[in-house]
Amino acid sequence: MALWFDETYGGQIRFGLKLKRSIFHGKSEYQSVDVVETEVFGRALALEDAWMTSERDEAHYHEMIVHPALTVARRIERVLVIGGGDGGTVREVLRHAEVKHVTMVELDKMVVDACREHLPAFKVPWDDKRLTMRFEDGIAYLNNYKGELYDVILIDGSDPVGPAEGLYSSPFYESAKKCLTKDGVLVSQTESPIAMADDFARIVKTLRTSFKRAEPFFVPIPLYPSGMWSFTFASDALDPQAFDEARAKRIEDGARYYNRDIHRAAFAQPSFVRKLLG
Amino acid sequence: MALWFDETYGGQIRFGLKLKRSIFHGKSEYQSVDVVETEVFGRALALEDAWMTSERDEAHYHEMIVHPALTVARRIERVLVIGGGDGGTVREVLRHAEVKHVTMVELDKMVVDACREHLPAFKVPWDDKRLTMRFEDGIAYLNNYKGELYDVILIDGSDPVGPAEGLYSSPFYESAKKCLTKDGVLVSQTESPIAMADDFARIVKTLRTSFKRAEPFFVPIPLYPSGMWSFTFASDALDPQAFDEARAKRIEDGARYYNRDIHRAAFAQPSFVRKLLG
């Protein structure tokens, strides 16, 4: 019997992978959590029947949510990751030797537990002494935060529906900004400019009301609806193209997707995107 | 009853769209030909149950197979298109006023007939006096060609299996080169560097044995396996980045995907591509 796992988006598009086997299935307080094994994408994680990440393409996502921010921000000692339960984002953050402290705030402990056990190929340094894990709501965490400011904040949340909806709103960005240094950088995943064109445009425009500049950039993520994904670089002080050459070079050497050419190229906007944001 | 049409690639990945209705189904001498209507991608063409193009994303493909070549080649009076039965490629070629003559060589007349009748939104100027249509095998056409040399040759064929296989081989490229001016440009679609990584690498390397340079570039095509597609720019004389600024500007004004920033950015190679071509 051939087993397939399909994500259906908006009742109109579906993307499926043939499974070798199901590895983990759980139901947390927030969502269903699945880890499956596939032929072409290796092991993959799905939440609420939506593909999240896979061994084959996770580097595209995780390198690109991290390195444009961490090669441009001047100081990168203190980094906050909201979401990112599979650990790929903190793994890439921790590749920067200048990072002294990463806090990861993930709502759903079951995601971290499942990934830690069943996605060993992600090679997340969960026991790195620089990493602090907190299992709580990222919005509440930032609202109540009274500690030292962060140099970089990365929003690695799921789609803006359900539990993650508030991560893409003006009050959340204002609250994040209060926890960020003056020349800090915030990068968020901001959906597909094709499959979720309205959400994409709304979120980028919302970021532009909170930050002096907010520039989207684009990355192919085969697992996600339409395959063309966006992140947005938001900052009051910094040009997303002005990366630290030496830092970028060091990261490039061990990267599967990111390099300096890609950093420069990713911010080019197709004409339909210019129109959406126009 | 919900109707879905899924392309299954390699028995491992499938991408499906919900249909409003089937518009055309035919079986030619070469392949099955379908035109369907979908909610999110508009009308779409499939050959042998593989998605070929849709109203929603056709501009990504057609603008990018054409404009990098036609803004870099110095003379663009004579253009040859092999394949491209839906007409999107010749439409983009004919947007260049400098083009005096386009020959389109398509094996399967049923594809052209079906697209001409059922994809009116593609707005192909089928009756443009500069366009000559020939329904025959592109390989034989080039082998037997004795006419004036072409300034640009565009290979808009389907996957390198079945009838299109020979379009991605060394003998074919040598034969194409004999029909091309000394400072001419050949651009071919060259598959997905993710879903068909081996084919992609083999084809680019084959082009490099026939041309002094062959540089792949990348475009998101949501309908195709993995969503990340490649074209390759091959030339003995020209740098793919050295486009004619005024010509590119004119094209950009009416484009949905292509613009000068995208032209510059599309040639950036992700690290895994550098390794594949290494």
- Cβ contact A271–B259 (<8 Å): yes
Active-site pick, B34, B108, B151, B156: B156
pLDDT digits (tens, 9 = 90+) for B206-216: 999 999 999 99
Instruction: Check residue B163 and give its pLDDT.
Output: 73
Chain A residue numbers with beta carbons less than 8 Å from the beta carbon of B15 are: 13-16
pLDDT reported for residue B261:
98
Residues of B in contact with A44 (CB under 8 A): none
CA distances from A87 to A111, A124, A126, A128 (A): 10, 6, 8, 12
- Indicate whether this model's pTM tops 0.95: yes
Measured between beta carbons, which residues in chain A are less than 8 angstroms from residue B265? 264-268
Does residue B162 carry a pLDDT above 80?
A: no
Task: Give the per-residue pLDDT at B158.
Answer: 85
**Tokens 């991605």 sit on residue:** B168
Which tokens belong to B231? 């074209």
Q: CA A160 to CA B139: how far, in whole Å?
A: 50
Q: How far apart are CA A98 and CA A271, in angstroms?
A: 37
What's the rounded Cα separation, in Å, for the pair B223 and B272? 22
User: Is it the case that residue B76 has pLDDT exceeding 90?
Assistant: yes
- A interface with B, Cβ–Cβ below 8 Å: 4, 6, 10-18, 38-40, 56-57, 59-60, 194-195, 218, 220-222, 226-228, 252, 255-259, 261-262, 264-272, 274
pLDDT of residue B161: 81
What six digits make up the tokens of B83? 């394949």
pLDDT in tens, chain A (278 residues): 789 999 999 999 999 999 999 999 999 999 999 999 999 999 999 999 999 999 999 999 999 999 999 999 999 999 999 999 999 999 999 999 999 999 999 999 999 999 999 999 999 999 999 999 999 999 999 999 999 999 999 999 988 887 778 889 999 999 999 999 999 999 999 999 999 999 999 999 999 999 999 999 999 999 999 999 999 999 999 999 999 999 999 999 999 999 999 999 999 999 999 999 99
Which pLDDT score is estimated for B73? 98
Contact A13 B17 (CB under 8 A): yes
The question of whether B156 is a catalytic residue gets the answer: yes
Alpha helices in A103-244 (DSSP H): 109-118, 138-144, 170-178, 197-210
Q: Spell out the domains of chain B, with CATH numbers in brackets.
A: 3-54 (2.30.140.10), 58-277 (3.40.50.150)
Cβ contact B12–A18 (<8 Å): yes
Burial degree of A261 (CB within 10 A; 0-12, 13-18, 19+):
middle
Residues of A in contact with B54 (CB under 8 A): none
- How much is the pLDDT for B160? 86
Residues B217-273 have pLDDT tens digits of 999 999 999 999 999 999 999 999 999 999 999 999 999 999 999 999 999 999 999
Is the CB of A60 less than 8 angstroms away from the CB of B258?
no
